[in-house]
Amino acid sequence: MSSENLDIAYVAKLARIALTEEEVARFGAQLGDLLGHVATLADLDLDSIPATAQVVESRNVMREDLERPSLDREVVLAGAPQRQGAFVRVPRIIGQA
């Protein structure tokens, strides 16, 4: 485990966060520092250890496929930044630049 491959601009692209040049430098250094700390996990012998996603045992939960009331459309759309009729409006998706 090493931080030498940390390309912060690429990661920011994956995370869809526009960073300023100053942020690229600052976050790059801070995340490099954190990766140095988490590298201690390399000391542990984990080859035969199963991964834990969640500690309390749980199973897939199913429910009856029944119609039931949901949130009111007007109430939900009231939280959207931009709407058009009964829809959330977004900028162009197809044929992205």
Q: Taking CB under 8 A as the rule, does residue 86 contact another protein?
A: no
Q: Which is nearer to another protein, 79 or 85 (CB)?
A: 79
Q: Do 35 and 7 form a contact (C-beta atoms < 8 A)? A: no
Q: Which residues contact 89 (CB under 8 A, 6 or more apart)?
A: 80, 82, 83
Q: Taking CB under 8 A as the rule, does residue 44 contact another protein?
A: yes
Q: Taking CB under 8 A as the rule, does residue 68 contact another protein?
A: no
> CA 45, 47, 53, 57: dihedral to nearest 10 degrees?
-100
Which residues sit at the interface with another protein, rule CB under 8 A? 1, 5-6, 8, 11-12, 14-19, 23, 27, 30-31, 33-35, 37-44, 46, 49-56, 58, 61, 63, 71-72, 75-76, 78-82, 88, 90-93, 96-97
